[in-house]
Amino acid sequence: MSQPKVLVLLSGCGVFDGAEINETVLTLLALEESGITYQCFAPNKPQFHTINHLKGEVQEQARNVLEESARIVRGNVSALSELNEQEFSALIIPGGFGVAKNLSTFAVDGADFSIDFEFQQVMTTFASKKKPVGYMCIAPVLLPKVYNGVRCTIGHDEKTASVINGLGGLHVDCPVDNIVIDNDYNVVT
């Protein structure tokens, strides 16, 4: 059997408008320390908006999700459009509001959100092949759109948990230092 390779999908750079930096860096470190090969990808499209992380305010500045994702991984990221899913045995999505703003419209549309077309294709392909996936932080809210009846967690956020349940998922309250595993779908949250 060939060496497993993990796809890490990023949504920009920065907790309020992109991928959460700590979640991303610690994920990549854990993969490296475990001897697991990975490659990062991100959509090549404009960010929903840009946040000044020092002041917490929206800036009148356009940025690109792929270019911002490159900041975290020192340029070692490819456009999602270049992805060959067959090369990867697992998928990890670090959290951060980029998931809710750049990979989906959850931040604006709530329960009526849509998922970025390219990203939804990736989600659907991994789901259909039951490849292992890990979704962090806010990212699990996307799962019920692809995995019918999926068991997952976003922690203890009742409002987001009700969205997951309303979309047909099964939210499980979980402390931040634990995980929820759906063995039927190979989903870890």
Question: Which residue numbers are catalytic?
Answer: 137
Query: Which 3-state string (H, E, C) describes the chain?
Result: CCCCEEEEECCCCCCCCCCCHHHHHHHHHHHHHCCCEEEEEECCCECCCEEECCCCEEECCCCEHHHHHHHHCCCCEEEHHHCCHHHCCEEEECCCHHHHHCCECHHHHHHHCCECHHHHHHHHHHHHCCCCEEECCCHHHHHHHCCCCCEECCCCCHHHHHHHHHCCCEECCCCCCCCCEECCCCEEC
